[in-house]
Amino acid sequence: MLHSRYYTTNEVAVHNTIDDLWVSYLGKVYDLSPLIEQLKGDVLLKPILEAAGQDISHWFDEKSKDVRIEIDQFTNCQKYHTPRGRFVHIPPPLPQSDWFNDFGKPWWKDPQYEVGFLSVKTRHIRIINTLTSQEQVIEVCSEETMNDILDRYLTYNAHAASYTWKYNGEKLKMDRTLEENGIEDEDEMFYDLQLEPDDFRQSILLYFNDDLTEL
C-alpha cells in the first residue's frame, strides 16, 4: 500500500539486512522484505541482497518504469540491463523448462511493496527547546510539512505538540513546509561561498504552552 511519507536516503540505508530490506528507485521507497522471505534461498535474490538499502534507479527506464533494455555487444540482441546479474522475475536469456512466468506482476511493478517516497532534497534544521535549552539538529525532507517534522522530533521530546513553533519570531504554520514558512534552503549559497552550513544553521525555537494545549 502506498503511503504519503517521505524518507531520506539515510533512512533507507539502515534497512539493509536479509530480514529488513529496503531499496529505492525512480523516486519511491520499497520494502522488499516480504519478497525475500517468500523466495528465501533463491539464487536470483543475490543482486537484490547486494543492493540492500541502496538506490537502484539505474536498473530501470524512467519513462517505461520497467527494467532497462540494452543491446548485447556479442549477440547484437536486446537484453535486460542487470548490472549485478540476473535477478528475480527477469526471464533467462534462453528458454528454460524450469522457469515459470506465472508469478503475476514482477516485483518492481507491484505496489504492495511501496512504503513511500524518496526525498529529492533533505535539509538539516536546528530545533531549540527554549524551556530546557536543549537543541537537536535533525535531517528532514524538504517536502515535509512542519507537522511531519514535529513527528520526527517526537524522538527527542514526546511533548513536542505542546509547544508553539516559531522562526524569526513568527509562529510557524504547521501544515506547510519549511520553504512555505519562509525558511529557505541556503545550502547552495553556503557551498558557493565555501562556508560550513553547520556554523549558520537555521534555528526553530519551541515555546512551551502552559496549558498543555496541543496545536
Residue 1 inside a domain? The answer is no
- pLDDT given at position 205: 97
For residue range 44-66, list pLDDT tens digits in order.
999 999 999 999 999 999 999 99
Domain membership flag for residue 51: yes
> Are both 92 and 130 inside the same structural domain?
no
| Residues 6 or more apart in contact with residue 29 via CB below 8 angstroms | 7, 12, 22, 23, 114, 115, 116, 117, 118
Instruction: Give the domain range for residue 185.
Output: 122-208
Residues 202, 153: Cα–Cα separation, whole Å? 16
10, 97: one domain: yes
215 part of a folded domain: no
pLDDT band at 199 (very low <50, low <70, confident <90, very high): low
Looking from the CA of 64 toward its CB, the CA atoms found within 13 Å total 8
Which residues lie closer than 8 Å to 96 by C-beta, 6 or more apart? none
Q: Could you tell me which of 172, 93, 162 has the C-alpha nearest to residue 125?
A: 172
Output the domain CATH number for residue 56.
3.10.120.10
Q: pTM for the full model?
A: 0.85
- Beta carbons of 181 and 173 less than 8 angstroms apart: yes
pLDDT tens-digit map of 132-162 = 999 999 999 999 999 999 999 999 999 999 9
The last residue of a domain, from among 118, 139, 168: 118
CA angle 203-117-50, nearest 5°?
A: 110
